Structure 1
């Protein structure tokens, strides 16, 4: 039976090997990234945030981008510096050039990431590279037009370096610190760095992480002052229940299905948070519950770290699995859920596909792709109908389907992280993991 299986595998390999050919991968990448670009050019959609970045960076709109951590604005600042060289900073042409430059930078980084995934999986079918390519195409225009892709790729780099072995663990912690300073949420993943309490490597990783955070905080204070360091924190605390969030779904549905009555107690409006929020009966209670659930996610991270200290069973793959689960916990318990948030988790899962042979990781990848397609239906396809007062039923149902898919995805990620089978890695990786743990 074993020889028959080997023979079957040998016969099937040549038929699949063409999927790893560099030309095929490059063409797939190009097609997938042309989807959002053509969408943007034909419909003129999803560039509002990029133009908002430009107006904030050039001072046209004072106070714009204060909600973003200073380090998180650096990719946009780089594009602004390049595209406004020799031109008028407030010129319409400069703004259009900035939009093109931002999309180009996002695409270039995606290309580098795809190359890494393909090269790391060379000799076999590059499922991780194809997963990333499909994610790019299925995510629609939002994929290339938001800053979230940058911290997402940094967290993927953190995971890749952890899995690469002990000599790269210091750089991994630096990347995680940089991602934290770009978007705040990756800071919770610091719990994944904790190994056995008696292992020097544990405290070295933790010290490198917090040392890097301190250094970046000092840079921010020197560049923008203390106010610039804390403004993203105060901004997040003032936000209401975003219409796209998991917790808002029941109220959006209720509002949509009472649409025919001509009057609904729920209202959707554009808030000072620069997003659409829903208000009405039950929303205040929901916000309280979500705050408690978010706190519970942080407590989960702390407890996970404490258990690792005691058990001394840390491995790189275990840390990556927990990071994926924690990212999804942050998303589903958040009072905010913007369409680009899937870019937080997809890059890490692409890296996990390289290192793990467990079927659950493949299931997670498929669930992310399904969630990406449904997210594209929510934004931008039905978005105008979703934020209408009251929303249309078809838009509310699309939101329901997407959010159910995301909750299922979160459940699968938790199962991977907290079941023994989800922690399996190859023998070589186990040795490397214990060496750095």
Structure 2
């Protein structure tokens, strides 16, 4: 049934169906927020408090967990909202929705002004992640990464700029730069643009915020503990559901709920080892991409997704908004696969997109719908249920990341010149 609906959009979808789908799904997100998830707005109020305080304490002491340009970006809603908390929240949400709308429009334009699976995926993905999509700023690096994949062949300098901007906002997009260099003809263009934007913003940040503010996101991240939603906390969270007395879940100084008790130090070490192994896997993908004869945009897009997946599953922290990072590149990949890969390969990409939609829905169940149960509220049954759903999501996310790496490795080894490509 779903396949028939997708086929209908591929044949008859147009700008009006895109606009109608966007409006309908986004109204649903706002309704979910108003009726069930209003408390998720807490981080937006936190941003407002920090920006208000910045005028007293200065930029070097503001939002040290984020790169310096984030403080500038988060000042925009303060100005648009006339400095009030309510105005800030409205301006912030409107800004994130505008980014979402812009990326939807970009997908439509790149697809020849038609409504296809890539747009349907993006509309559903943001809906399944839920109001959190608009109550954190992670949709910004997601859109930048997705747009970078879209422009990698058409306008490589723009890919470099977008990747540099993403790195200046969230750091991890810097790892995507070498993935785009797999395409030999555009290496220099991408590199110059990436360095101009990324390093340029780093220098500006150094001038206005100082050295300690420039490196504060790295020191902040290194000091964090085992976040309860992370892959590596899963064994202890399961054990805690069986015997809550041995482990404590509490808010840490890093504004995140972490688990404390037996086994935490061991799993922190294992997560550090996994991070190193993940970096080794990323380097292996880089090398294979550089050695490939002519990797196409689809192969590079899978490498981008693999890098993001590896960063998420190997980390000792995992916040629900991290899943947004995968959505932009996946939507771009669904668009690029048309007429570029064989039918079996198209089915593989569509299956990966379907798995990501399921992960998005599970993530909204974990946070915010079952989060109180995960913290111990609602009694033992809710704790067991919330822990089971979180464990299921984490296992599925781990399997998804592994499959991304496998598929990226396989696609990089395909010589397109010898492959007969069928239409979508």
TM-score (norm 2): 0.87
Aligned partners of 2:212, 2:298: CA distance in 1, in Å? 38
Once superposed, what is the RMSD of the aligned Cα atoms?
Answer: 2.7
Q: Which digits, 9 at most, give the CA deviation of each residue in 1:165-221, with x for residues without a partner?
A: xxx11221111011011001111112203338xx57434433432343221111111
Cα distance, 1:40 vs structure 2: 2.4
- Stretch deviating more after TM superposition (70-79 or 174-183): 70-79
Aligned partners of 2:367, 2:287: CA distance in 1, in Å? 39
Matched residue, 1:68: 66
Cα distance, 1:35 vs structure 2: 2.4
Matched residue, 1:27: 20
Aligned partners of 1:14, 1:302: CA distance in 2, in Å? 38
Aligned partners of 1:322, 1:152: CA distance in 2, in Å? 15
Structure 1 residues without counterparts, runs of 5 or longer: 1-10, 431-437
Contact 1:18/1:24 (<8 A) preserved:
no
Aligned partners of 1:420, 1:318: CA distance in 2, in Å? 5
Match of 2:174 among 180, 184, 187: 187
Match of 1:172 among 156, 159, 165: 159
| Superposed counterparts of 1:38-437, under 5 Å | 38-43=31-36, 44-59=38-53, 63-84=61-82, 89=83, 94-122=84-112, 125-164=115-154, 168-195=155-182, 201-259=186-244, 264-357=245-338, 358-388=346-376, 392-420=383-411
Cα distance, 1:364 vs structure 2: 1.2
Query: Would you say how many aligned residue pairs link Structure 1 and Structure 2?
Result: 402
Partner-residue secondary structure (3-state), 2:152: helix
Aligned partners of 2:411, 2:131: CA distance in 1, in Å? 38
Name which one, 1 or 2, has greater alpha-carbon Rg.
1
Matched residue, 1:5: none
CA 306–12 in structure 1, closer or farther in 2 if over 3 Å, else same: closer
Q: Which digits, 9 at most, give the CA deviation of each residue in 1:2-36, with x for residues without a partner?
A: xxxxxxxxx99995467613333222211211223
CA 323–258 in structure 1, closer or farther in 2 if over 3 Å, else same: same
Aligned partners of 2:235, 2:218: CA distance in 1, in Å? 28
Q: Which digits, 9 at most, give the CA deviation of each residue in 1:221-260, with x for residues without a partner?
A: 122222221111110000001000011111111101224x
- Stretch deviating more after TM superposition (72-81 or 410-419): 72-81
Cα distance, 1:313 vs structure 2: 3.8
Partner-residue secondary structure (3-state), 1:269: strand
Cα distance, 1:310 vs structure 2: 4.2
Matched residue, 1:8: none
CA 393–13 in structure 1, closer or farther in 2 if over 3 Å, else same: closer
